Amino acid sequence: MQFLRTLRQTTISARIGMAMVLITLLAAILAPVIAPYEEAEVVADVWLPPGDGHLLGTDQLGRDLFTRMVYGARNTIAIALLITCLAFLVGVVGGLLAATMRGWVDMLLSRIVDVVMAFPALILSLMVLSIMGASIPVLIIVISLLDATKVYRLARALAMDIEVMEFVEAARLSGEGTWWIITKEILPNALPALIAEFGLRFCFIFLFISALSFLGLGIQPPAADWGSMVRDNAGAISFDMMTPLWPAGAIAFLTIGINLVVDWFLHRSAQIRAR
């Protein structure tokens, strides 16, 4: 009931965003059901236009583009979601511990984060992936650790603002431990901002993976990925074909949808805090 009540209170833009995200998620989840062919199956000639049993035409190898699109949604979204969860687990735990314990813990963690953030994320990722190989586990670990630094900064800043409030001081004076203060006092009050950041961070990671795939160091073939699909089919533009625009449009579609939902959530959280 509470969910339905909240849903009725959403703005038009938020509902549009939710619909865009839901469509993409359903395509990713139901990929084996709705895809007419196997993910890497060559079914026709290269760069055929839409029609003749191919809803979006075929790609540079003669694979069904619609099939590649829905499997690309599954691969890219699943990996981006896993990376976002890992980045938040590391970043939030580290940021809250640093802000709460202060002293050498804060100094050590903050200096490590400063060193990592001193390098441009894309250049550092390209360097590590070139040395260690562009496998899925390496991709997940590298991007998770890089993105955890940004989450750490936000979590630490939020926790330091909350930690000086009276209810936290009261909990300390009553003898509550560090972990209790973090989980019962600081985290619940920081949660709205962290949830909004989760949505934005997912967008950044999703786009980052697509960029790496476009450069050839992201999700590797024959697995479908929207970023690599744009790169592989870029030559079709010379023949006045829309083939690379479908995966590029899908990337923009999901990103816009998530941003619309996050904007509404931030606005709603601000209204709740103002009451």
Both tokens of 180, joined, read: 């209790």
Domain hosting 176: range is: 71-274
Q: Is residue 52 part of a domain?
A: no
Percent with pLDDT over 90 in the chain:
49
pTM above 0.75, yes or no: yes
| Banded pLDDT at 274 (limits 50, 70, 90) | very low
In a domain, 40, yes or no: no
Which two tokens mark 250? 């899908």
Q: What is the pLDDT of residues 211-264, one digit of tens each?
A: 898 888 888 888 899 999 998 998 888 888 889 999 999 999 999 999 999 888
**Residues 168, 173, 178, 184: is their CA dihedral positive or negative?**
negative
Q: List the CATH number of the domain containing 78.
A: 1.10.3720.10
User: Which residues are CB-contacts of 52 (< 8 A; sequence separation ≥ 6)?
Assistant: 44
Mean per-residue pLDDT for 136-162?
A: 93
Under DSSP, the state recorded for 165 is S
| Residue 20: inside a domain | no
What's the structural domain count of the chain?
1
Q: Kindly indicate the confidence band of residue 3, based on its pLDDT and cuts at 50, 70 and 90.
A: low
